[in-house]
Amino acid sequence: MQSGNLRKVAIVGANRIPFARSNTAYADLDNQTMLTDTLKGLVDSCKLQGERLGEVAGGAVQKHAADWNLVRESVLGCGLSPYTPAYDVQQACGTSLETTILVANKIALGQIDAGIACGVDTTSDVPIGANRGLQRALMKANAARSTGDKLKAAVNMLRPSYVIPEMPQNSEPRTGKSMGQHAQVMADRWSISREEQDKLALASHQNLAKAYDAGFYGDLVMFYQGLDRDNNLRANSTLEKMAKLSPAFAKDGTLTAANSTPLTDGASAVLLATDEWAASKGLPVLAHITAGETAAVDFVDGHDGLLIGGAYALPRLLDKRGLSLQDFDFYEIHEAFAAVVLCTLAALDSAEFCKEKLGRDTPLGSIDMSKLNVKGGSIATGHPFAATGTRIVATLAKTLDEAGSGRGLISICAAGGQAVTAILEK
């Protein structure tokens, strides 16, 4: 499958719309509209009108049946050449980091020279399915051939219980617990205090506010639907305000609305290419993606925390590159919940966890927290599930570019006990 030697893969452009809390600025928009507009913004900023790229890969977690070809349809409306292939991927919250890795691998192998990774999600337009009984009755009615059979099928559809729709469930199918409930279990297991969580959440808002005020996001976030920045940002948050909130997922729990991500709508995209292709288009090399790793844990029977996958993926990633956890200038760890970030870091610094779960003689150690999510994290920006990965890739790539050199580590936890991780370098 390889054509020649492995090639370096650069992040050369990025765009996203401001992320918006569910049922606010984007309440009337759908995934295709947001993704198409985001891709169009990237096409315009990088002057790619009519360009045939190697491929566009992306996806959404919450997706209507009619969106079965979501990314391809968005490509057809964004200004790229209609000869650009596209496909959908879904790996929960890790979706667009996974698509970044997929596109990067094809570039590295010489199969394509450039491509886009992207993601979108809206919880303002979630798919509501027909009642299972009604759905089966409709299928029988559609298959009926005689008038009598059609009438029988029609009468069968009149049951009152069939009127009740199938609503999306905010819970893990295997456990019945919501992601927040699972995160609370993790916080309890690792003895993560509410004060620690609130401090991390406050830093997320403060760092995002500073980045916006400094103009960092000026060329990464487009003006859209009246927004010029993420509307979940609370620049005036304080620990005192956060302390007044009630627990969100357990009566005496430590997780609250302030130290958890809200339901969010949004889309993001990054342009990946070889250095040579970027030079031919006059585009900058912001950073290179140099490694990726995924993991899954047994959160059902193995007593692993649902969102602890990063503590398994990161050690494997580091070992393959011969790096230590401390060999990084910046860390981007997805803040699904502040507790999850802190649990993951605690696990990596735990001799017991590293010995029993990872088979390592010594723990990976701790990190410098001043290097964590320095331009704001998911708690402040919001978290449109499939859009978070490329939001983080773009942010880290520009952070490294502004620094002039360095190395950054990304870790994103995902539903189903999974995680996606990557390394960016300048």
In this structure, the chain runs to a length of 426
Rounded to the nearest angstrom, the gap between the alpha carbon of residue 302 and the centroid of all alpha carbons in its chain is: 25
Structure tokens at 389: 């990965």
Q: Are 384 and 340 in contact (CB under 8 A)?
A: no
Calculate the alpha carbon distances from 422 to 284, 289, 352, 357, 419 in Å. 21, 7, 25, 21, 10
Contacts 24+ apart (CB under 8 A), 239-243: 239/195, 239/198, 239/199, 239/202, 242/198, 242/201, 242/202, 243/194, 243/198
- Which position among 46, 78, 354, 413 bears the catalytic label? 413
Residue 354 known to be catalytic: no
Residue 413 known to be catalytic: yes
Q: Give me the residues paired with residue 414 across strands.
A: 418
In three-state form (DSSP H/G/I as H, E/B as E, the rest C), the secondary structure along the chain is CCCCCCCCCEEEEEEECCCEECCCCCCCCCHHHHHHHHHHHHHHHCCCCCCCCCEEEECCCCCCHHHCCHHHHHHHCCCCCCCCCEEECCECECHHHHHHHHHHHHHHCCCCCEEEEEEEECCCCCCCECCHHHHHHHHHHHHCCCHHHHHHHHHHCCCHHHHCCECCCCCCCCCCCCHHHHHHHHHHHCCCCHHHHHHHHHHHHHHHHHHHHCCHHHHCECCECCECCCCCCCCCCCHHHHHCCCCCCCCCCCCCCCCECCEEEEEEEEEEECHHHHHHCCCCCCEEEEEEEEEECCCCCCCCCCCCCHHHHHHHHHHHHCCCCCCCCEEEECCCEHHHHHHHHHHHCCHHHHHHCCCCCCCCCCCCHHHECCCCCHHHHCECHHHHHHHHHHHHHHHHHHHCCCEEEEEEEECCCEEEEEEEEC
- Which position among 46, 93, 343, 354 bears the catalytic label? 93
Residue 343 known to be catalytic: no
Enumerate the active-site residues: 93, 383, 413
